[in-house]
Every structure is written in structure tokens, then in C-alpha cells.
Structure 1
Amino acid sequence: MRISLFACLAISALAYGIPLQSKNTPVLAAIQPGSYFVEFQGEPARAECDSEHKQFYKEVTAAGINMYTRNTFKRLFNGVAIDLPNTRNLERLEGLPSVKRTWPMQMRSRSTAIPSTNVEPNLIFAHQHTGVDRAQAELGLDGRGIKVGVIDTGVDYMHPELGGCWKTPGCPFQYGSDFVGDGYDSGTTPHPKPDPDPRDTCDGHGTHVTGIIAAQGSKVKGVAPKVTLGAYRIFGCPGNGTGQSADDVILKAMEAAYADGMDVINMSFGGGSGWSEDPLSVAASRLVRKGIVMVASAGNDGSNGLYTSGSPGLGVGVINVASFENWMITSLSIDIVGVNKNTSIVHSPSGNNKYRFMFDTPADVVAPKDGAGTVEGCAPYAEKYTNKILLIKRGNCTFVDKAAYAQAAGAVGVMVYNTEAELMSPTSVSPNVTIPLVVIKAEDGQGILNELQVGAVSLTATNHTMSVSNPAGGQISRFSSWGPDPELHQSPAVGAPGGNIFSTFPLALGGYTSLSGTSMASPYVAGMAALILQARTKKIGVEEVRRLIVESAHPALEANSTAIMSPLRQGSGLANIWDSVNALATIDPSRLSLNYTESDTESSASWGLDGQQHVVGQSTRMLTLFNHSPTNFMTCTMTSLAAMSVSSYMANGSFTAVPRMWPNVNSTEVVATDTQPHAYIESPGLPIRVAPGTSQRVYVRIIAPTGLSTNDKWFYGGYLRFNLLWDDRVGTAQSLHVPYTGFVGDYTKLDVLSAPEGGLPFVSLKGSTDVLEDNAHVIIDSTHKLVVHYRLEHPTRLLKLRLVDDANATQGYLPNGYVEYIGRNYQSARGRYSNSTINGTLYQDTDLTKPFETTPGAYRVRIDALRPLRNPSDPEGYQIWHSPRFIIDSVSLAKNSTAVAQDFEGGEEILGNSEIF
């Protein structure tokens, strides 16, 4: 259970007291500290659900519990979403006979995808590398007859590339609903009614995503341009309030897509806890079980390293997708005129869609230093630059700050040159910024600087577009998130083009743009799923669709290396629909998670192989090969492909956000064979022959690296390449890949908290970072408090923060002192660590609903963090930290000021931003 730290809005205007189930129940602008999912005892989608809901309300009324019903659910989740104005009633609510459990709700954020820029059909370049062009041209596949639901920001269905229609005969859009309206997140309470339909003219994310699936080919040709579409809007316009959507709104959209009979659902958003137990992941898993192909973005937190894949993509059976860079960048151009050279360069979309980077007449370019003497534009300028375009270096402050300082100096536009080769998204949305800001490539920025050294530079920027080669084409996108999930399940599942993808955009915002993100990779695979369903006339199960996509993918090499990239970054590799639809075989399972080398519960002994015993570092897995050819025998051999090992720790034991890799791509050191995993078919003997239309079990033994230190906490992995040959006249041959990953050492002994020698955890006085000395005397009142700082280097299923006395007896839980299913702290600019305030209020219960005032006395802070895969009821399963002893001399709280929520003093939320990807 993760406590969301996003800002919540008060709902004092609502009438509490009577549980509501009205059809006119308003959509709330944001979740509250007391917003919960309440799950009932029975499974969803049963006739008994109605009576179970009625029984719950009878029990609530009898117990005198005041609450407000936000939404009710019966199809994917049996329960309700509620606001509980008095959270002290939570324990009573959980004790009702009809209640199974509760979860605090979260907000999922909308954000700019990670853009590049505008026009010409650069999806065509991607299609050439993924087999889409051949599948469309040679097999006539276009998605006809398949229903695809897009849960997103809505769509501008009046775009001519998307049909220019809504629910008319022959129109692609036959399904959909708006659950929020333009003004959602605006802070009004109760919220205005949603619009009649999900048209989006103000954001564009969902329009771009939909174009990747189904654009009809004037400037953009989608993967499956003839699918029938459902658009389900869960985000309002940018710039309103929190820019987020509540979990219950998203769940409503998922239920609506299911009720409309979607065959495929795309979800290009995420966040949550990073656990498969997250409610949206559970709901997505249920949709898979009901026969719907669920596709989701893996996330854009690759710079934060391992365990960054988010929900709902971690649901069982969900295809969560990593991003590969497109081979071309298509963009609106900027025409530069200098003394020595004139050139045209590409740029990102504007950081604010309302203010496009358009200059029909020449504008002068300058690159001044700011008031702090830097070229980064992070301080006010001493001079005025009226009607100038400012060239500013990326770094040290936000794009909003750079644009605001430039605007205050009179500038009419900003170009920020990146510190890396590629383009990226410059979010500059702010009510105080009314000039356009774009990002250009590092080399283009340097070129303009060189021209400025010899004379004046000017630019024009119109609707002229250009395409340039992307030097990173075919490589994994830097932003693409890593797996595994905290329980060692592989993530992502597969990769697809997602970096620099040109697609449709709302007509009011220019009609087209290029964006980057796993948001773009996910709909690419959703379109592929539609083509497979069409090719097999829908006579195929969800798991079979997943296998065809995942197993036919092609593993990629690490950039600037001959080594194969870890499956924890790319899944099975870059998807190829031509290979998928032509596959005559599949393998079950399609990926292998080997747990950890010192305890393999699925070892060879478990399979009953004669004479085989478990050996540390070795695992035997059973796979089933299916020969789908009705007429020809299939012969099989296997090649073992080792991938790079990765770790979140350096050789000196320090944590690193960017994973360390072995073999080191920048080293000429000879790689010993025992530092690489390998595998072989253990049974039956080779070659393996599988009769037409039958299956064959195969036992594969995988040997983990023995030359890598267990102290370095390595994840190893590789691919089992099954080489298949049929005895038909042409000798049909295909290769399928099954990725595997494992952990070197004992995963259950990993520390969750950062090592104390690294400086955390520690306790300090509020407003100070000085470590509190042993036996220090303190007072607690409205201005004097203590803060405990800690960092999670690994996700944990349960975190407890308590005050204990000299006998180590629990005196009470701190605010936010009992949290389940939480992710690790990211080590980027935000989220480096977390805080909890010792403010004089403690809690008797783990639901944190029974507060009481701390009494003077001697205390320590105790943190218990459950180690991976350990049982919460096992006291030996926790990493435990005790602070130095301190003495509270007095506690003085204002009357009725007992805290309910955690008081953060400068730290960040445990996970990074939850967002649209």
C-alpha cells in the first residue's frame, strides 16, 4: 500500500453522511487523504455482486460510518471507491463483514511525452524495421474487424487522418466516453460534468497515440489503419490543477472498454507502486483473463535504473513495452542564417502547446550570460533582449525558469541546446510563461554558438519540415524504464519504436508532431496485436498473441558494444510483426524468471529428472514447444545467447542509479567465460523432432555466472534461441527467443535501506541536516520538530517507522509509518530520499487511524524494511535500523491539531513522477 504524496484538494463543499450511488455522482477533482478503494469478499463479474454492494451499505449505515461514494465497480473489481472524511473510521470500515481489504487511492499524472517535433511520415521508417510494411503490403493486414480501445487524454477524432468523424456509419470511432471533461483537475468541487464525447483539442497525447495505431496514411500511416476505435478520456486539459487522474476514474474507463467489447486496450500511462499488486495492475490482469490483449507503456524512468517499470504494465499477462529509437527524426525546422553558413536544424515541439515556435520574419539570436554569469539562463538577466531569441544551455534549472527569465528580459522565444545528441521534451507549461521554448540538439547549438562568435545570427521558423537520420536509430531509448519488478518477474516484455515518432496531433495544435516515450512504443505493439488477431481471424487466445509478439522479437546489442542488452531493459527485443504473423511455432513459457542462485525452488529435482539434484547457480526449466504446422515435422536445436549482467551497485558497494554492466563496454579487458551465463538442452536428446500439430516438452539447464561476486548484487540474463526447421519443400526456418534473468546470490538477503555509512538514515532537527547527537534533548511544539531521513535502495512490501523506548518496545507509529508495496527512491534530482516528521503525534494502529500525543521521555526511531520475497510475519525477514537515543523533554501541540498525514520536510515521494509515458 503506497501513500500518495501528490497534492490533494479539499472537498469541504460535499455533503457527507449518506453513502451515495447516484448516477449523477460528480467526478472528484482529486483524491483525498481519506480516498480508498474498498474491495468486497466476492470476486467481480458475478450475479451476487449487486447483493454484496447492498450488504456493504447496510453495514456502513448500521456502523454509523460517514463516507462519500466516488465510484462503484462490479466488472473488474468488486467494490467501491470512497472518500472517508474521518480516517479514524478506516479500522471500523475494514472490520465490516463484507470488506476484504482497502487500498489508499493514487493520482496518475499527465505529462508531456518526451517530444522531438513535426511532419513527413517517419513512421514509415519504423515500419521498415519492424515488418509492418511487409505485413500491410504483402499480407493485406490493416486491423479490419478488430476493436482497439485507447485509454488516454481523449482524441481529436475530427483529424482527417483519423476519419474526421464520431460514431457515424463507417467511422473508425464507434465507442468511447469522456470521464473527466476539459476542466478536470481544475479544483472545482463538485466537478463539472464530463463532455458528451472524448474529443481532445487541448492536450494531444491521446491523439498522437491513436495515430500510431490507426492513422490512415496522408502524412502518417498507423500500424493498423482500419481498426475500429474506442476512445476513453481520463485526463483533462494541461495546466488545470494537478494534471492528474484518479485511479477510480481510470478503473471506470477500463470497465467501459471491457463492456464495449474491445479486443485490444492500450494504456500509455503509468506510475503507481511498481508492484503487480497495485489495483490497476490487478484490474489489467483480470482483463487479460477475460480475453482482452492488454498493452501498456513500461515507463520513462530509465535514467533512474532498475525497478522503474510501473503499473498497470506489471499486471500478469499485460504486454508492457520498452522504447527503441526511430531511425529518422522528422521535425518542423528552424532556418539559421549566419555570417559563414546558413543551415536548417530540427527542434523539439514547444514546451507549451499554446505557444508554438513560429517566426515568419527573421528574428535575431543571442546567447547572453545570465545574472549569475552562466549561459544556462537560471538567473535574471542584467540587460534587456527585446524581440530576441535566446540560445540557452540545458541544465541547473527547469525549462519554466529558463523561459520565465528570458521573457522577463524581453525575449520572444527560447532555444535550449541539449547536453546530449538527441532531442528531448521541454515542458514549460506555466501561466506566467507566454513565449515558446524548444530544445535543439547539442551539435546544432554549438554550431550556432560558433556563428555568433564571428557575427550576427538570425532565424526563421515556419511550417517547413525536414527529416534527418537519427544516429541512435534502433537502439534502446535512454529514457526507457528497467525491470525487474520487486518479485523478480521480468519487465519489460518487448520493445517497439517509441523515440522520435511522428504522428497525429489535435488540429488546434498544429495537426502533427513528433513525440518520444514508451507512450509511443505501447500503441505500436497494440497495433501489432490487432494485425495478429486479424490474421488469425480472432481464433487465437490472448496468451498466444502475447507469445507471437514476444518470442518473434529480435534481441538488440548494447550501444557501442558487441554484447547483447539485458532483458531487463529490452524484454525480448525489438518486435517484428512479419515474423509474428508467419510464426509456425510458439513456446510456453515465453520468458523465464530464475529467482536467485542460492535457492531455486523450480530446480531440476522439482521436475523429477533422474539423478538430478539442485546445484547452486544452476536451474532447469521445462518449456513446451508447439508445432502449429498441420502437415510438416519441426526439427529444433537451441543456441545459448548470454546478455550483459547489470547491477545497481559499484564495486565499492555504493549505489548507482545508472546500472553498472558486465562486460564493461568501455573496457578491453578479456571476459572470462565463467562471468557469462550459458544454457543447454538437458532432455530430450538432440535433434528434437515435433510432429505436425503437436507439442514437445524440453528441459533446459541454465548455469548462472560463477565469476561474478555475490557482493556486487548482479542480475544476469540471456536468451534461449530456438532454431526451428520444417521438412516442407522450401525448408521453412524460423528462430524464436525466450529471455531469462536471475540474480547472483541470495535475493532475500538484500538490504532495502541505504547503508548508514552513506549518510542515511539519520534524525535531525527540523530545518537542519545535522545528525542529532546521541542523548540530545529536544522539545516538540508547533515550530520545533524532528525529522527522520531515509532512503530505499530497493522496493519493499512493507515499511514500518516507529518510536521505541530503551527496552525496544513500540511506543507508536510515526505519521506514514506503516506503508505497504512501495518502490525505491530514485536518485535523480527528485526523490533522492524520503522524510517522516516526528511532530508529537503517534498512532496506535497500523492503519494510522488512532492518533495520540507523544509523552516526554527517551526514544529511538526504529525502521523495519521487509527484505525481498520475505514473509511480513517473519521477524527475521526485516532489515532494522535504530537511530541514536534522544530525549523529548516536552510536547506542546495546539488543540485538535493531531496530524493525520505525513509531514514531509524537503524529501520527495518514494517513487518518481507517475505519468503518461
Structure 2
Amino acid sequence: MGLSATQRYSFSSDAFNGASYQFSPKSLGRDPHALLNSIPSVKKSWPVETVPGPNFTINSICPLADNFHSNSKRSIGIKTTKSIPHIMTQVDRMQAEGITGKGIKVGILDTRVDYTHPALGAGVGPGHLIVRQSDHVKKSNTICEHCEGHGTHVAGILAAQPNKLGFIGAAPGVELSTYRVIGCSEEETSMESVLNGLHRAYTDGNQIITASFGRAEQQFDSVSSLVEYIADRGVIVTAAIRNDGLNGRFERIIPASRNKVVAIGSAENGEVPRFLRNATYRTNDGTAKAFVWSPAVSGSSPWVDVELPLAVGQSTETRDCDNFKNAGDMTGKVVLVKASACSDTVDYMGFATREGDMWSKAEMAVKRGAEHVLFYSENEATDFMQPPDSGEFRNIPRAAGMVPYSTAQEFIRLQRSGQQITLQMDSLNTSSQRYIDRVPNARAGLTSKASNWGFTYRPVDNISLGLYLRTEFELNVKPDVLTPGEPILSTWPVDHGGYAVLSGTSMATPLAAGIFALLLEARKNMSVADLKTLLATTAKPVAFTTNAQDTSLAPVLHQGSGMAQVWNAAHATTLLSTTKLIFGDTLYPTLDRSFTIRNIGSGEVTYTLTNRVAKTFYVLGEGEGSPDVPDEEPPSLMAPSPKAVKYADAVAEIVFANSSVVVPAGHSVEVELALIPPKGLRIESLPIYSGFITLDGSNGDKLSLPYVGAVGSAGRMVPGLTVLLGLTCFVALLDYL
């Protein structure tokens, strides 16, 4: 055809034969896909696009890179840990039985992993925890703290060896391979890098591949295609669903949204780990007393040997963003600021919250001369400080930190009694004592607010250059399961502190990968498909709220099957024929309303069936209507706008032909059911109902099957996606046969 092209990468295996090429723009014409797909040896082509860097929250970083433990290739004699995330997912029970994922091969696709870290084996190669490492970005050999620490943190969650901070990974017996496919910016990372690393992870023989990254769902997606080819060949692929949940119920992410990928959502950890430092304060009598504090993660400069008086805002208990209206000059003082927002509103999940944040208040103090700010939370379960948005706040303190709630209350009491308080804090570069402690998390076990949720899509228009591509929304369920991801303690690059506390689905995903490694070791003779089914159907549905008066579960589209319970999955002798029931909408309902129970145990089992309802929510607000996305808008599936979600009390009723089912050993029984959709809802706002069919077996097995459906017509929801190509690099799936 006379095409001018330069080959950039090639991929060849039983899963994928392809190559990427740089074309001359003039040779591609108006419709590059049609041109490339007309070549006999090309099955499909995709443009080469960029991949955003990891999307996560840094809560706390260990101040200095101490030598916490001895260097060793792999620690021997793993003992049960008291890690709360492990207890929440039953990992502790598996490790107590000696199951550590021994010999299971796991590949991590992420940013660079610091293989020199003692808790990660302090090396690469046979006998080490990390047996191989490859770089598919190759832009820099340096580690960027706030980006490239991501992969190191992920690796520690999955497989960290024992250390003085008292935690280990979920599966410390695995053989890790790490593949750097993500840089610190979109400019550094292309789909080619991800494809290359993913293909290499498959050809290296990994049984599990985990990816804590993703991008907004689009139809031009070579990575998802390769992921599904790999999954078809028996490899378990876990992927983070990302942390854009605050954008609403239409933020779908690839590759997590693909059916053959196990999409991992984040739940709140039962504890809040935090790094603290010792300091002292003096009152009028000059007596020094100790207190603890933690420095800000970023957004301010390090503290440098401070001995300054403390100032408490005159309205610390109010919701006014300006706590210092009558405070006068605050130069040369450390200012105490309440880390709460300023005005009441409602968040995207419909919960009461407040607008503005602690940095808004700090900005008011800085305008009055303050350079040092200490925040405190509204309760002892301290919220970690988030770095300020530099585009929004121009006046941030030169140095910031946080004190526990109880310490702040003592400072406020002393100040109100007329005491002058002087703080003395060492430079962060000194060796003053520092340690980690843990406090209870008030939202323990709930789905993380930032964890993505919503619907998947399918294309309805042909792909063609410059045309408007439409997608129809589906009632598929993603995430598949939850594990704790907020906040999580793990490893961090040695030169940048060695350990850190991070939050996000990025942290939940490697825990899920480790859980699958435990299952692969425990149930060696079971198929991957059955292992996936077991993990989903033995998961524990999570509550909608901590309010004891509300016993409803979180919507299925928030939590998938619920919190993974690996010990239950490893010991269950019941297999269900599906992991979810999709009832469609009331205009075009699905006709198949049954599932099969298979008893793979040695004795007869009686199963009691119940319906546990979840919260019903509206896709659209009143008068919001079906969205229209103009052609000039950038590519987006964000429709409609992410207004606060409204919930309803009406729920679906499930009627079983029999409320109990007897299944003999080695046999299967079909369960038929009737659905009665909820009534009295605003049909024009597309209500989504959901819940769980629970099965309590007389043998101790406890399973649940999520269901979801819509009242009205889901077909009216057609988010738009404008296709703007203008690209000259393409990946082609080639037919070499």
C-alpha cells in the first residue's frame, strides 16, 4: 500500500502477536483504522495513547530511612501477623495454617520497585523475593518519591518480609517479578510500555498479574484486549478500579472494567496507622512535657529546629474558615488549626459533609504572618493531611504538621486557662525518636468514598475517524470484590523513608493478588474460574453506614461481592454457577432468574436462602434528564454531572420457590426465584436496586450472590464519547498464521 512506517515494538506469543509502528501522518489518510484493518495480516489496530500516572493518596511517610532490619534474601519461618487488613480478609488465618503463597509466580506492573529494600529481599535474582525486574519506560534511573514509591508500596503489601514495623505481606512466600510500565507523568508512559510489560509478564510464566493503574474507559484499548487474551489462558489478572469515585457513578476504568479482569475496590482499614515524632512543650512554670506530632507529607518545607509560642484560633470550634479574624499579628508563632471543613453540604454518596478544608483555614493564618501550622482532627482517629492544591491555595504555611485530638484539646484547655505554651520541635533531619502507632478508624469496613463505582459500557457506533462514538450503559457489576485500601502501611523507597502509609484502590489490589496466591497454593487442583467464583461468592457484603439504625447494605455497584474472605474461599465446598445476577431493567428484563448450587463436598448439605437488601439509588437527579455531550467536549464518559446521589427506601423482593435447598454430595440443584422490583420510585430518574441472596449451609459454608437491576429504561442512558485521533502511532494485532 506504500505506507511509510518504522517498527517500534513487537510482541509474539500464544496470547498476542502484534507490533507497534510509527507512521507518516500523510500516509494514513482520513480513516487510519479502516486503512490498517484492510491489510490482510492485520486483525485489529489501535492508536498508541498515553497512560496517566498512579492515582493515590500519600498519608504519611517515615521521616528517615533507618536501617530497620537486617538484609536477607528471604526471611524464614513466617509467623502470623496481627495486621488488621489481614484479619478483615482472613489472610491471618491462612498464614496461621502455613499458607504463604509459596512458589506462586506473581507479576507486578507498576512504577519502579526498590529491590534494595531489606523488607523486599535486598536484591534481585534466584533465592530473592524479587526474582526478576524489567524496565519498559526507561526515561530515568532515579526514583521520584511521590510517584515511583508507588510500586515499592504495592510490592510490600503483596509480599513484604518480616520487619521491625511489625507487618508482612499477604503472601510473603511468592516469587515476585516486577515490570516498570508507569512513569511519573502521561508523557513518560505510553500504551506501548504497558503492552510490552504485560506481554513480558505473561511470557515469564506469572500465574497472577496485578496492575494498580488504569485510565478512563475508551473503545480504542489494546491493553484490555491483551489482558483478556491472557486471562483466557488461565492467568489471574487483578486491576485497581481507581480513586475517582467522588466524580460520580460514571467513572469507569480500564482494564478493571473488563469482564475477565478481577476489579478491586477499596474498603476502609479497621485502623489508622500513623508515623509520630516526639516533641516537648512548656507552660508558664517552665516544666517541659512531652507530646507527639507528625509532619505534613508534602505541601510545605521541612521543620527546622522550632522553639515558638503556640497560638490557638479564637473560633476553633466554629465552621468559619477564618478562625483568626481578631488574632492580630501571628508572625513567629505556631498556629493550631482544626482540620475540618467550613460549611455543611452533602457528598456524592448522599452523606452530610462540609465544604472547604483545613488548608483554607491555614491560609487565613498565613495571611496574618504565620509560617508554622499544626492541624488537629475532630476525633482521635486522625485524618491524615493531604497536600494542598497549589492552584487553589496560594498562601500555604512554610511548615505544617498534625497533633492528635487529645493533645490539641489539652493545648486549648491550657490556653483558655491563661497559660502560655511554647513548643520545641527538632528538625526532621535529626535523630529524635519517632515511631508508628495505630488508632481505630471510625469508618472501618465501609467502602472508601474515593473508590470508583458505577456502570460499564459497550460501543454502539462504528469506529471511524472524526465520527461521534456512542456507548450504551450496561448494568454489569464492578468492582468484583473489596479489600482494605485506606489507609495502608507498607514499604517505600529506602532513600525516601523506607516505609509509608498510602490510600487507594492501588493498595487494595496487591492485597487481592496476594489473596489469590494463597488460594492457588491452598487449592492447587482447582481451576482458576472456580477460584474466582469462590472468592466472589464467599465474600462478605459490607454495610452502607456505621449508623446502627440503618441495617441496609451498600449498593452492589459500590462494593461488588463485598469484602474478600480468603479462608472461607479456601475451605468452602459449595460452588455457584455464577458470581452475580443481572436483572436488567423493567422495560427489557432478563428472563433467566435462576442459579445452580453444586456441592463438591463429601456429605449432603441443606442451604437456607434469604434476601439481604442494599440501598436503592437514583442515577439521575430530579429533572436531570438524559445527558448530551457536545462534539467539542473532550473525550469523556462522565455523564451526567456528578451531583450528590439520592437514595430511596424502596427495595426489591426476591421470592424463592423453596426457602431451603438440599444438595447431595457431588450433585447440583437449580434454584429458581421470582423478582418483584421496588415500587413508588421516580422512574424518570432511573432507580438502581440491588442486594444479596445469601446461602447458609448446614456444613458451615456461607455464601452470597449479588443482584442488581433498574426500574424504568436503562437504554435512555447513552453517555457520549467524542473520538479525536490525530495520532500517528498504532498497535496492530497481526495474524502470523
Q: Which TM class, normalised by the smaller chain length?
A: 0.7 to 0.9
Query: C-alpha displacement at 1:246, in angstroms?
Result: 1.8
> Percent identity of the aligned residues?
27
Cα distance in structure 2, aligned partners of 1:676 and 1:166: 54
Query: C-alpha displacement at 1:478, in angstroms?
Result: 1.7
Q: Tell me which amino acid in the other structure corresponds to 1:300.
A: N
The reply to whether residue 71 of structure 1 matches residue 30 of structure 2 is no
| TM-score (normalizing by structure 2) | 0.76
Structure 1 or 2, whichever has the larger Rg, is: 1
The reply to whether residue 225 of structure 1 matches residue 172 of structure 2 is yes
Q: Tell me which amino acid in the other structure corresponds to 1:472.
A: R
Q: Secondary structure at the match of 2:516?
A: helix
1:834-878 deviations in Å (ceiling 9; x for gaps): xxxxxxxxxxxxx679xxxxxxxxxxxxxxxxxxxxxxxxxxxxx
Pairing partner for 2:51 from 108, 111, 126: 108
Contact (CA 8 Å) 1:175, 1:260: kept in 2 or not? Answer: no
- Change in Cα spacing, 1:116 to 1:595, as seen in structure 2 (3 Å) is same
1:417-464 deviations in Å (ceiling 9; x for gaps): 668976256246989999665567888778766766654352537523
Q: How many residues align?
A: 637
Q: Tell me which amino acid in the other structure corresponds to 1:151.
A: L
- Change in Cα spacing, 1:546 to 1:88, as seen in structure 2 (3 Å) is same
Q: Tell me which amino acid in the other structure corresponds to 1:470.
A: N
- Change in Cα spacing, 1:103 to 1:505, as seen in structure 2 (3 Å) is same
User: 1:155 aligns to what?
Assistant: 113
Contact (CA 8 Å) 1:305, 1:648: kept in 2 or not? Answer: no
User: 1:554 aligns to what?
Assistant: 540
Residues 470-509 of structure 1 correspond to what in structure 2 (within 5 A)? 470-485=441-456, 486-509=473-496
Query: C-alpha displacement at 1:109, in angstroms?
Result: 2.4
Query: C-alpha displacement at 1:639, in angstroms?
Result: 0.8
Query: C-alpha displacement at 1:171, in angstroms?
Result: 0.8
Pairing partner for 1:572 from 561, 569, 582: 561
Pairing partner for 1:733 from 697, 700, 713: 700
User: 2:350 aligns to what?
Assistant: none
User: 2:258 aligns to what?
Assistant: 315
Q: Tell me which amino acid in the other structure corresponds to 1:542.
A: V
Query: C-alpha displacement at 1:85, in angstroms?
Result: 5.6
1:336-383 deviations in Å (ceiling 9; x for gaps): 74759978566586127xx885666655555789xxxx96799xx997
Residues 686-705 of structure 1 correspond to what in structure 2 (within 5 A)? 687-705=660-678
Query: C-alpha displacement at 1:511, in angstroms?
Result: 1.2
1:23-78 deviations in Å (ceiling 9; x for gaps): xxxxxxxxxxxxxxxxxxxxxxxxxxxxxxxxxxxx4xx24x4x454433344554
Q: Which has the higher contact order (CA 8 A, sep 6+)?
A: 2
User: 2:714 aligns to what?
Assistant: 747
User: 1:623 aligns to what?
Assistant: 595
Contact (CA 8 Å) 2:696, 2:703: kept in 1 or not? Answer: yes
Q: Tell me which amino acid in the other structure corresponds to 2:108.
A: V
1:622-665 deviations in Å (ceiling 9; x for gaps): 32222121x212222311111111123334548653321223xx
- Change in Cα spacing, 1:733 to 1:77, as seen in structure 2 (3 Å) is same
Q: Secondary structure at the match of 1:423?
A: coil
Q: Secondary structure at the match of 2:189?
A: strand
- Change in Cα spacing, 1:367 to 1:230, as seen in structure 2 (3 Å) is farther
Cα distance in structure 2, aligned partners of 1:480 and 1:336: 39
- Change in Cα spacing, 1:599 to 1:294, as seen in structure 2 (3 Å) is same
Q: Secondary structure at the match of 2:151?
A: helix
The reply to whether residue 211 of structure 1 matches residue 156 of structure 2 is yes
Cα distance in structure 2, aligned partners of 1:172 and 1:159: 11
Q: Secondary structure at the match of 1:515?
A: strand
The reply to whether residue 288 of structure 1 matches residue 260 of structure 2 is no
Residues 835-874 of structure 1 correspond to what in structure 2 (within 5 A)? none
Cα distance in structure 1, aligned partners of 2:690 and 2:122: 47
- Change in Cα spacing, 1:173 to 1:366, as seen in structure 2 (3 Å) is same
Query: C-alpha displacement at 1:242, in angstroms?
Result: 5.0
Contact (CA 8 Å) 2:594, 2:673: kept in 1 or not? Answer: yes
Cα distance in structure 1, aligned partners of 2:335 and 2:81: 29
Cα distance in structure 2, aligned partners of 1:393 and 1:310: 32
Contact (CA 8 Å) 1:274, 1:308: kept in 2 or not? Answer: no
User: 2:317 aligns to what?
Assistant: none
User: 2:731 aligns to what?
Assistant: none
Contact (CA 8 Å) 1:350, 1:357: kept in 2 or not? Answer: no
The reply to whether residue 306 of structure 1 matches residue 249 of structure 2 is yes
Pairing partner for 2:93 from 134, 137, 140: 134
Contact (CA 8 Å) 1:298, 1:492: kept in 2 or not? Answer: yes
User: 1:143 aligns to what?
Assistant: 101
Contact (CA 8 Å) 2:129, 2:176: kept in 1 or not? Answer: yes
Query: C-alpha displacement at 1:748, in angstroms?
Result: 0.8
Cα distance in structure 2, aligned partners of 1:676 and 1:469: 33
User: 2:581 aligns to what?
Assistant: 592
Cα distance in structure 2, aligned partners of 1:274 and 1:419: 41
Residues 13-162 of structure 1 correspond to what in structure 2 (within 5 A)? 59=1, 62-63=2-3, 65=4, 67-75=5-13, 76-84=15-23, 86=25, 89-91=28-30, 93-94=32-33, 95-96=35-36, 97-98=38-39, 99-111=42-54, 113-117=56-60, 124-137=83-96, 139-162=97-120
Cα distance in structure 2, aligned partners of 1:581 and 1:393: 43
User: 2:207 aligns to what?
Assistant: 263
- Change in Cα spacing, 1:286 to 1:363, as seen in structure 2 (3 Å) is farther
User: 2:462 aligns to what?
Assistant: none
Q: Secondary structure at the match of 1:224?
A: coil
Q: Which runs of 5+ in 2 are unaligned?
A: 63-67, 69-79, 315-319, 342-354, 427-431, 457-472, 626-640, 729-737
The reply to whether residue 662 of structure 1 matches residue 645 of structure 2 is no
Q: Tell me which amino acid in the other structure corresponds to 1:635.
A: T
Query: C-alpha displacement at 1:100, in angstroms?
Result: 4.7
- Change in Cα spacing, 1:735 to 1:122, as seen in structure 2 (3 Å) is closer
User: 1:249 aligns to what?
Assistant: 193
- Change in Cα spacing, 1:546 to 1:404, as seen in structure 2 (3 Å) is same
Cα distance in structure 1, aligned partners of 2:616 and 2:27: 48
1:269-294 deviations in Å (ceiling 9; x for gaps): 1222267x743333222221111111
Contact (CA 8 Å) 2:543, 2:553: kept in 1 or not? Answer: yes
1:306-327 deviations in Å (ceiling 9; x for gaps): 1224111112221111111111
Query: C-alpha displacement at 1:259, in angstroms?
Result: 0.9
Contact (CA 8 Å) 1:642, 1:717: kept in 2 or not? Answer: yes
Query: C-alpha displacement at 1:156, in angstroms?
Result: 1.4
User: 2:654 aligns to what?
Assistant: 679
- Change in Cα spacing, 1:100 to 1:479, as seen in structure 2 (3 Å) is same
Contact (CA 8 Å) 1:448, 1:457: kept in 2 or not? Answer: no
User: 1:876 aligns to what?
Assistant: none
Residues 874-913 of structure 1 correspond to what in structure 2 (within 5 A)? none
- Change in Cα spacing, 1:318 to 1:393, as seen in structure 2 (3 Å) is same
1:211-261 deviations in Å (ceiling 9; x for gaps): 11111222221111111101111234x5xx657522221111111110111
Cα distance in structure 1, aligned partners of 2:281 and 2:357: 28
Q: Which moves more between the two structures, 501-510 or 391-400?
A: 391-400
User: 2:135 aligns to what?
Assistant: 178
Cα distance in structure 2, aligned partners of 1:557 and 1:576: 16
Cα distance in structure 2, aligned partners of 1:447 and 1:110: 42
Q: Secondary structure at the match of 1:530?
A: helix
Q: Which moves more between the two structures, 460-469 or 199-208?
A: 199-208
| TM-score (normalizing by structure 1) | 0.62
Cα distance in structure 2, aligned partners of 1:504 and 1:307: 33
Q: Tell me which amino acid in the other structure corresponds to 2:203.
A: A
Cα distance in structure 1, aligned partners of 2:707 and 2:91: 27
Cα distance in structure 1, aligned partners of 2:505 and 2:404: 21
Cα distance in structure 1, aligned partners of 2:188 and 2:677: 43
Cα distance in structure 1, aligned partners of 2:45 and 2:322: 47
- Change in Cα spacing, 1:202 to 1:748, as seen in structure 2 (3 Å) is closer
Q: Tell me which amino acid in the other structure corresponds to 2:511.
A: Y
- Change in Cα spacing, 1:90 to 1:544, as seen in structure 2 (3 Å) is farther
Q: Which runs of 5+ in 1 are unaligned?
A: 1-58, 184-193, 604-619, 664-674, 726-731, 753-794, 800-817, 820-846, 850-899, 901-917
Cα distance in structure 1, aligned partners of 2:114 and 2:242: 24
Q: Tell me which amino acid in the other structure corresponds to 2:684.
A: N
Contact (CA 8 Å) 1:123, 1:502: kept in 2 or not? Answer: no
